[in-house]
Chain A
């Protein structure tokens, strides 16, 4: 049974007091807290198994290699990829999108091509494409959204053409929490012989993800938003696409051999097998171990249960926020159409004022553009305050949050 009160016991940080109040952590869309199971896995790795991976014959290296490879396998299973060959570990979603932009985009996009992004994207799914567009001369086209922050599928279907080579779209908006219909977007992309890249930073931690069912070509996510440490994340890509792609970074680990020809005074380089071809240099081994522990923790809870818990919290929070006469909530009203992310503003206060006020009560929320300035411009918002929930949050915490907001409203 999913019990957030029992789950809370696994998170040492939640016992903290801040400004004389019990910590209420509602900034989960930025990063999640870590359970002791993940902290212990990292500690155990460094205390018992630490060594560099691959190409060593000693015992410690074999243990570290096995753990690191197992982490790839568990990650593949978590999102239903075919095998670990389709899972590349990187620092996180941002680096994963940059990998696709440079390894795939640099070689496949031409001046006459178009890349579709939506107005609800995080900057990390806009900026790499805009940088590459300056180099290659292709056009980045922005697909409109509806006033409630949901994707305008008609706009997407009207924007796509023979020129479109890839649709880059978030699975869940990091501002409004809107869950996009990725299957529909993937179908649209493939009908036009385009690929689809899905930013899963806000979906993989919160709902079940099946990359085969979604039929996406690329799917990216960050470990730190799903209980794992910072500096580790993953890129999923269909094997047949990865095979054709050139490496992102060059260095050790990603090559099979660098054969120097003394007559020609040149090296002939061949790439390592998947996924190592895309993991140059000593990887974040311990990060991978931490990610594996986080995935095991989430799988024990069941991702369906995680999603249902957050949906209940979101529904409750929206209902209670409507009691606050000066509060405006953005995003779809129907909690089943969004993950546990609620952007809002309080009349007469900037988002930063709201965040600082709540900080006095030990309540951590985020304020500003949340790295999604085009979305704020589209919704005509100067910025927004954002509360975001996870597995350890409770209705009682929402009640305290509402009481604090009612205090600010009194002014």
Chain B
């Protein structure tokens, strides 16, 4: 997924009962990526301009101003890659 590779530096699966993925955006492209995501996803809440609670097609997403994003309760990494691809494509 070239479009995802352009923006994403690392993906970490969290440990804990919650099955979340943390996406770490490339530092130099994080602002651009977050802008794209904010355009496509529905903003539900913003906290201290640091946290953005978003919803995209029923998926709960929490984006952080420092370029890290938590995708909550996704079934597996394939779903994550599809969602990311949609969010980051023009």
Contacts and interface: CB of A to CB of B under 8 A. Distances in A.
Interface string A389-411: 00000000000000000011011
Contacts, number: 62
A351 interface: yes
B16 A383 contact: yes
B17 A382 contact: yes
A352 B22 CA distance: 9
A368 B16 contact: yes
A350 B50 CA distance: 16
Interface string B6-33: 0000000011111010100000000000
Interface in A323-381: 350-353, 356-357, 359-360, 367-369, 373, 376
B20 A352 contact: yes
A407 B47 CA distance: 8
A359 B64 contact: yes
A368 B64 contact: no
B51 A359 contact: no
Contact of B16 (A356, A359, A369): A369
B45 interface: yes
Given A352-B22, A411-B48, A382 B68 contact: no
Contacts of A407: 47-48, 50
B66 A350 contact: no
Contacts of B62: 353, 356
Contacts of B18: 350, 352, 382-383
Given A352-B22, A411-B47, A357 B16 contact: no
A410 B68 contact: no
Nearest to B50: A360
A19 interface: yes
Given A352-B22, A410-B48, A360 B66 contact: yes
Contacts of A369: 15-16
Interface string A240-273: 0000000000000000000000000000000000
Interface residues of B, number: 18
A324 B65 CA distance: 24
How many chain A residues sit at the interface, stated as a range, is: 20 to 34
Contacts of A357: 50-51, 64
Given A352-B16, A356-B64, A382-B16, A410 B22 contact: no
Contacts of A367: 14, 16
B47 A19 contact: no
Among B45, B47, B65, chain A packs the most CB atoms within 10 A around the CB of B47
Contacts of A19: 66
A407 B62 CA distance: 16
Contacts of A382: 16-18
A353 B68 contact: no
A356 B65 CA distance: 10
Interface in A136-182: none
A383 B47 contact: no
Given A367-B16, A369-B15, A383-B15, A352 B64 contact: no
From B17, B20, B70, residue with most partner A Cβ within 10 Å: B17
Contact of A359 (B20, B45, B47, B66): B66
17 contacts: A19-B66, A350-B18, A353-B51, A353-B70, A357-B50, A357-B51, A357-B64, A367-B16, A368-B14, A368-B15, A382-B18, A383-B14, A383-B15, A407-B47, A411-B47, A411-B48, A411-B51
Q: Which 4 A-B pairs have the closest CB atoms?
A: A383-B16, A382-B17, A368-B15, A411-B47
Interface of B: 14-18, 20, 22, 45, 47-48, 50-51, 62, 64-66, 68, 70
Given A368-B14, A410-B48, 20 more contacts: A350-B14, A350-B20, A352-B20, A352-B70, A356-B22, A356-B64, A357-B51, A357-B64, A360-B50, A360-B66, A367-B14, A369-B16, A373-B15, A376-B17, A383-B14, A383-B15, A383-B18, A411-B45, A411-B47, A411-B48
